[in-house]
Each structure stands twice: as C-alpha cells, then as structure tokens.
Structure 1
Amino acid sequence: MTILDLSPDELLTTTRTVRKRLDLQREVPIELVRECIAIALQGPSGSNRQTWHWMVVTDAGKRAAIGEYYRLAVERYLRGAGAAGKLFADDPVRGPVQRRIGNSVAYLGERMGQVPVLVIPCLEAKSLPAGNQAGLWGSILPSAWSYMLAARARGLGTAWTTLHLNHEREVADVLGLPEEIRQSVLIPTAYSIGTDFKPAPRQPLDEVVHLNAW
C-alpha cells in the first residue's frame, strides 16, 4: 500500500468528489476499504454513542441494483431546476463550472453500478426526530468525510452523493437493512485515474464569515 505524500492541508483541500476519474476496471482490496473505515471510526459521534454501521457493497448484482436506482434518481435530478448544470447558468464564472459538474453527475449516474466498491455509512435510529436533525447526522457525516480523506491518501477516488436516498427504501431492501438503520451518504470508491487533484474554486472568505453578528 502506498500513502500519498500530502501535507494535512493538501489532503483537506484536494480531496474532491471524483466521478469521471474512477477506475471501474481495477479491483479495490477489501482490506484497504476496511483500513479507511477504521480511520473513519475515530470521527466524532454524539455522546460517544458510536451508533454507526458501514455497508460495504462489492457484490456485482447488488451494486448493479443500487446503480439502477441511482441512475433513476440522477435522471430526475437533472430534469429539475436545481440541477448542477442549471445552477448559476447565467453566471460567466460559476456557470461553466456548474455545467461541468452536471455533466460529471450524468456520467456517474450511468456508471454507479460499475464502481468496484459502494460504501454507505449508516446510523441506528428507530425514529427520526422532528425539527433540527443536526445532532443526529452530525454523528456520522464527519466520519464519512474522514473515510474519503483516508481513501484519498491511499490513491482511491470517492464521491459524496445522497441522490440514492430518493430510493432509500428500495436500496435498504437490496441490502436487507433493518428498519432502524438509516442511510446517509453514498460513497462510490475506486482507484482514481491519476492523483493530481487540486483545490476547487470557493467563495471569498469575507462573503461567508460572520464575526459576532450577521
């Protein structure tokens, strides 16, 4: 196993959602995935309850079934007004970027079922609380991001997507999930084609930072 020579800041700023540069042909060793999850389990969870579970899907039939539900969700998403390719369509700076994202979303939508490993971090929750659910999902989403960081350091590409949740019940049936197991993000995992990822454009800091008051 090779660990990329990245500083902490480089790792944090170059771990990207990878769609078109996932190697769909190269097998990913399950032990490498387990190693990334072991690192992710160091992430925070409310009251240190650690009520997480990690679905790792390598079975070709189950990956194909999940991929088909994902494809349907992507098609619906791309038809909607909030699709990445339609956001900021008239903005000369962000418009081209969003169109590229829309194209890559469509690309992955057609190929999700071919990705060698699909990872779905889940939480135990018999019922979802009314109102703000930040406390609940804050116990799994940081660990999901830690998984992606660990994967990036090992030459793996990942993507952060939740579109499969439009078919959450169907995906749960494919995987035999109990009713109290709630899915969060879907993280396709494969070796990346190249490792030369760069920081993405972001809003100026002063537009998003509010000191002491809005």
Structure 2
Amino acid sequence: MNSSSPAHQTLGLSADEVLTTTRAVRKRLDLTRPVPRELIQEAVKVATQAPTGRNQQQWDFIFIDDPETKAKAADIWRAGLMAGAPDEHSSAPMPTRMSFASSEWGRIRGSLGHLVQHLHEVPVLMIPVVRVARRAEFNSTRGQAHNWGSVIPATWSFMLAARERGLGTAWTVAHLTYEREMADLLGIPFNNTVQVALTPIAYTIGTDFKPAPRADDRNFSHWNHW
C-alpha cells in the first residue's frame, strides 16, 4: 500500500482499476467503523481538480455525521424512495440496457433494500450541491449541461478518490423529491442552490471490488451519425 499522507494510506490501484471497480456500495458498507474527517477531506482535495465550467467551481459538498441529523436526512430519503420517481409513473418504456427481470437487477434491488434499513447507521452522508444565480438556469438544456457538468464530475472524482482510500459510496437521488425539506433540515439556501444526490460514505467490508456486468462496449459507440 502506498502512503497518501502521513496519516492515511491508499490501495495503490491504477487509474483503470479505480475507474472500473468503483462500485455503488450498499451491503458492504462498514456501519461500525468511524470515518475520519481528515480522510474525507483528502478526497475533497482530489475532487477540486475535476473539470469545472469557466473555472467557476460553484459546487459544495455537505457532509452529515451528526447521528440525529443523519436520522432525519435518512427519513427524508426513504420518503422520496417511497414516493417513486416521476418517470416510474409514465407509460413510456424506460431506456435501459439491463433487463429488470435479470438476476443483476435482483441483486441491486436487494442491496437497495439493505440501504433502506441502514442508511441512518452509515458513518457519513454527503449531499453535493451546485450554486446557481437562480434555479431558473435549469429551465434550458444549456443551463442544465453547464451546471451538471461542474458538480457531477467533482462528485465522481470524490467517489473515485474515496474508493482509492478504502471507502465505499453510492449515487442515490431519492431524496430530491423532497429537496426543499432537506434544504430546510441542513440550512441550505434553496433559491440559489440545487442538490444533486445523496451518497453514503463508509469503509468497505473488503476492498476486492471487480468490474460489473456491462453491455458490449461496441454498442455504445456511434461514428459520424446515430
């Protein structure tokens, strides 16, 4: 293992290994081992180097490690999960390369159920936020692309850096159904910020994650036209 700082160590993975084995971790989150704030800050430092439009760096990470606040945040997340996503109520088929009848989806559903039961026990929760002049910026495709294109790369960089430090994360969005309620809980200014996700952060039980089943990479590439 290579030392990343005098206090903490990294797994010593290659760039490709980090990129192909950073999984959405739910069942293998260690709920009993505290995560030092200093270790999280190391991952934040890596995330600051992510691409950001016009170098505006208009994103923030809110970390929650107070037990009472975590419990309330987890309740908001569960309420959003129960409410369902807007597209779940549409008659249009959801575009996907994975069959919802597959064993892989069954495993995902099972691990999500585990997270539902234990989210409040995860050592740290993180909510990425992008700052905007006004929320109406998201009314246009360009405005969305500009803002998502800043905060999402930073969040993914954080998750990759966390993986290298033995930490597990998972991208979830259920609480966004009740974004305002989460903003009120955490004191986030609602009118000029947009929350992006909620991710649990914990040491993983084991570090031997592997590439996940994916469609043939040639199916993703289009040359010169659709």
Same structural fold, with TM-score higher than 0.5 when normalized by the shorter chain? yes
Rounded to whole Å, the distance in 2 between the matches of 1:77 and 1:109 is 14
**Partner of 1:152 in structure 2?**
163
Give yes or no for contact 2:135–2:193 (8 Å, CA) kept in 1.
no
Give structure 1 stretches of 5+ with no counterpart: none
Give yes or no for contact 2:99–2:105 (8 Å, CA) kept in 1.
yes
Give structure 2 stretches of 5+ with no counterpart: 1-7
- The reply on whether 1:27 has 2:34 as its aligned counterpart is yes
SS of the equivalent of 1:202 reads: coil
**Partner of 1:184 in structure 2?**
196
Rounded to whole Å, the distance in 2 between the matches of 1:56 and 1:117 is 7
Give yes or no for contact 2:78–2:174 (8 Å, CA) kept in 1.
no
Give yes or no for contact 2:135–2:194 (8 Å, CA) kept in 1.
no
| Structure 1 letter corresponding to 2:206 | G
Rounded to whole Å, the distance in 1 between the matches of 2:100 and 2:156 is 29
Rounded to whole Å, the distance in 2 between the matches of 1:197 and 1:55 is 27
Residues 138-195 of structure 1: CA distance to partner in whole angstroms, max 9, x if unpaired? 1100010000010000001111111111111111111011121211121110000000
Rounded to whole Å, the distance in 2 between the matches of 1:97 and 1:24 is 24
Rounded to whole Å, the distance in 2 between the matches of 1:76 and 1:193 is 31
SS of the equivalent of 1:138 reads: helix
Rounded to whole Å, the distance in 1 between the matches of 2:100 and 2:187 is 41
Rounded to whole Å, the distance in 1 between the matches of 2:81 and 2:29 is 18
| Structure 2 letter corresponding to 1:199 | P
**Partner of 1:47 in structure 2?**
54
Identity over aligned pairs, percent: 45
Give yes or no for contact 2:123–2:201 (8 Å, CA) kept in 1.
yes
For residues 81-92 of structure 1, the aligned pairs below 5 Å read: 88-90=99-101
SS of the equivalent of 2:30 reads: coil
TM superposition shift of 1:128: 3.2
TM superposition shift of 1:121: 1.4
**Partner of 2:76 in structure 1?**
69
Rounded to whole Å, the distance in 1 between the matches of 2:63 and 2:215 is 34
> Across the two proteins, how many residue pairs are aligned to each other?
206
- Cα 1:103–1:128 shift into 2, 3 Å: farther
| Structure 1 letter corresponding to 2:187 | G
